[in-house]
Structure 1
Amino acid sequence: MARPLPPLNALRAFEAAARLGSVSRAAGELHVTHGAVSRHIRALEDELGRPLFVREGRGLALTAEGVRLRDAAGEAFAPLRATWAALRRDSRPAALVLGCPGSLLARWVIPRLERLARELPEVKLHLSAQEGGFDAALTGLDAALLLGEAPWPADWQAHSLAPERIGPVLSPRHVRFDALRVAPAGTLRDEPLLHTASRPQAWPRWFDAQQLDPAPLRLGTGFDHLTYLLEAAAAGLGVAIAPQELVQADLDSGRLVAPWGFVETGGEWALCGVRGNRDPRLPALADWLRRELA
């Protein structure tokens, strides 16, 4: 009794060879040998009792029966391929949307993205630069990477990553560099200090940690973003204050120096998500960030 349908593997091999016009290309697409595709086609021809291909020069041409079977097989396999591809796309988790301040994104996160992709391939990120803080619902985000101080909003689950450390930095291009780099910390009270509007407490906190009265300090030019502040410092326009991790590359290259060191502020690096978010990528990302910050 004849089978109502040809063997599926044989039909796949025939359809690929007919669509691609080559047994070799069909073998490559199906990840089998040239001989395996040829055997499947011969099996169909033997069962049908008629050829599906004829040799034409150095290639193959379909017979009338081959054209009919190609068209029917193509109509069957094309929607199957499309549906399978869509199901595979749908099964992949969406990118984790991570918000962080623009300066942190530019100076610390982006230089590490290649290593993150290599060491944590299951975490695909969509990065969103945020300025002006985060709302309690983390609207539009799966998580936020930030520098700040507890207590965090009650709706957040915070993964503590590392203590924040800040310190003054200046460039060898600064007009008083040779004198300042060997001067005691108290000398900075007489300098017009570069600062950011978002962290007005940074300089007073650093002076307190040095057991120096911050009252006499003079704030010079202010900037909206830390990135601009540090570019001004690198241009020799003054002494800036910044988190250690965000200037480490500049310190390593000699573009900036930190003669007075860094101190902990009581703040921390934190990865924060909305409480109740059980996405397993968040603790995995937090562990990776801790290792980087260590």
Structure 2
Amino acid sequence: MSRELPPLNALRAFEAAARLESVSRAARELHVTHGAISRQLRVLEEAAGRPLFARQGRGVALTPAGQQLHERIGAAFGQLRDGWAALRRTQAQAPFVLGCSGSVLARWMIPRLERLGRDLPDLKLHLAAQEDAPGAQLPGLDAALLLAAPPWPRDWQVHELAPERIGPVLSPRWPGARRLRGQPARALCGEALLHTTSRPQAWPSWAKSMRLPAAALHPAQAFPHLYFMLEAAVAGLGVAIAPEPLVADDLAAGRLLAPWGFRRTEARWVLAAPARVEDARVEALAKWLRAELAVRG
């Protein structure tokens, strides 16, 4: 036999077939076809220059050479499986650091933490408020919950959760609320509108979707964060523009009204994680977030 290692896929197929005493069971375990396992075994036998298996009823039995090889690589594969399992256990026990904006954290994530804890009890979530866009490497984070538009950085694995929908919202206590009820969207032209310095394009984007001239909208007081703007709207200080999920609870409680509904934008709710890391918790969290955004807004 050559001093070089044979193909690792062939060794893996051999170890599974020897341990399970069946090519078919090895194929099921490795999620490949029976023929693929048989081809890998032939590759290994050709490299060894001798047969490693003999037919035995519906299964296979090791030849003396096969037994000798299995005694050595079986232990090695066992150590690999144990090491990988230990790594996954360590990963599962570590806190999962999720970054998101302070507005998403305060108005959407925190109200749902109790439900998240019930639905994903093994996820030890640590939330990190971040106002700046995360770097391509997502430093210090296991994942980030974002409202953003593609294209995405190459270093991310992106789980799309829901399209973004935005719309104007106002408090029933706002003096202009009664006057605007039942009016078409163009009634907002000339009104003093609340907005954020972090997302100046929100009102123009909504106006375009409603076929209104953006120049007819008059931004009034600006707030550094969406959270502050929405608190001002709840306090009856004017009409704000917001993503639907961030005001869903206020709408349900009657603290805010959305007379003109919500319109889709080019942005998405996404869960982004480093592409280089395989972490089952990311998929579980993405599935939960997707369901929350779909059912409860």
Give, in whole Å, the separation in 2 of the partners of 1:258 and 1:280.
Answer: 38
- 1:80-124 Cα deviation digits (max 9, x unpaired): xxxxxxxxx968520110000001011111111111111111211
- 1:192-220 Cα deviation digits (max 9, x unpaired): 11001111111011111111111221111
Structure-1 residue corresponding to 2:212: 212
Give, in whole Å, the separation in 1 of the partners of 2:99 and 2:134.
Answer: 9
Does the alignment pair 1:161 with 2:161? yes
Structure-1 residue corresponding to 2:229: 229
Give, in whole Å, the separation in 2 of the partners of 1:149 and 1:186.
Answer: 27
Range 240-249 or range 152-161, more displaced: 152-161
SS of 2:215 mapped into structure 1: coil
Structure-2 residue corresponding to 1:139: 139
TM-score, with normalisation over the residues of structure 1? 0.68
Does the alignment pair 1:106 with 2:124? no
SS of 1:215 mapped into structure 2: helix
SS of 1:190 mapped into structure 2: coil
Question: Structure 2 stretches of 5 or more lacking a match?
Answer: 1-88
Query: What letter matches 1:202 in structure 2?
Result: A
Query: Structure 1 residues 251 and 137 mapped into 2: Cα distance closer, same or farther (>3 Å)?
Result: same
Does the 8 Å contact 2:92/2:123 carry over to 1?
no
Does the alignment pair 1:267 with 2:263? no
Query: Structure 1 residues 286 and 206 mapped into 2: Cα distance closer, same or farther (>3 Å)?
Result: same
SS of 1:108 mapped into structure 2: helix
Give, in whole Å, the separation in 2 of the partners of 1:254 and 1:90.
Answer: 45
Does the 8 Å contact 2:185/2:260 carry over to 1?
yes
1:136 Cα deviation (Å)?
1.2
Query: Structure 1 residues 203 and 92 mapped into 2: Cα distance closer, same or farther (>3 Å)?
Result: closer
Structure-1 residue corresponding to 2:5: none
Query: Structure 1 residues 169 and 91 mapped into 2: Cα distance closer, same or farther (>3 Å)?
Result: closer
Give, in whole Å, the separation in 2 of the partners of 1:167 and 1:241.
Answer: 5
Q: Percent identity?
A: 59
Structure-2 residue corresponding to 1:184: 184
SS of 2:216 mapped into structure 1: coil
- 1:241-287 Cα deviation digits (max 9, x unpaired): 00000001110111110001000011110000111210110011101
Give, in whole Å, the separation in 1 of the partners of 2:92 and 2:198.
Answer: 38
Give, in whole Å, the separation in 1 of the partners of 2:235 and 2:281.
Answer: 40
Structure-2 residue corresponding to 1:285: 285
Query: Structure 1 residues 91 and 215 mapped into 2: Cα distance closer, same or farther (>3 Å)?
Result: closer
SS of 1:115 mapped into structure 2: helix
Question: Structure 1 stretches of 5 or more lacking a match?
Answer: 1-88
Q: How many equivalent pairs are there?
A: 206
Query: What letter matches 1:196 in structure 2?
Result: T
Query: What letter matches 2:290 in structure 1?
Result: R
Query: What letter matches 1:282 in structure 2?
Result: V
Q: Which aligned pairs between 1:42-191 and structure 2 lie closer than 5 A?
A: 93-191=93-191
Query: Structure 1 residues 280 and 90 mapped into 2: Cα distance closer, same or farther (>3 Å)?
Result: closer
Give, in whole Å, the separation in 2 of the partners of 1:194 and 1:212.
Answer: 17
RMSD of aligned C-alpha atoms?
1.3
Query: What letter matches 1:201 in structure 2?
Result: Q
Give, in whole Å, the separation in 2 of the partners of 1:269 and 1:256.
Answer: 22
1:126 Cα deviation (Å)?
0.7
Structure-2 residue corresponding to 1:17: none
Give, in whole Å, the separation in 2 of the partners of 1:282 and 1:91.
Answer: 12
Give, in whole Å, the separation in 2 of the partners of 1:120 and 1:90.
Answer: 17
Does the alignment pair 1:238 with 2:231? no
**Structure with larger Rg:** 1
Give, in whole Å, the separation in 2 of the partners of 1:278 and 1:96.
Answer: 13
Give, in whole Å, the separation in 2 of the partners of 1:292 and 1:246.
Answer: 12
TM-score, with normalisation over the residues of structure 2? 0.67
Query: Structure 1 residues 206 and 90 mapped into 2: Cα distance closer, same or farther (>3 Å)?
Result: closer
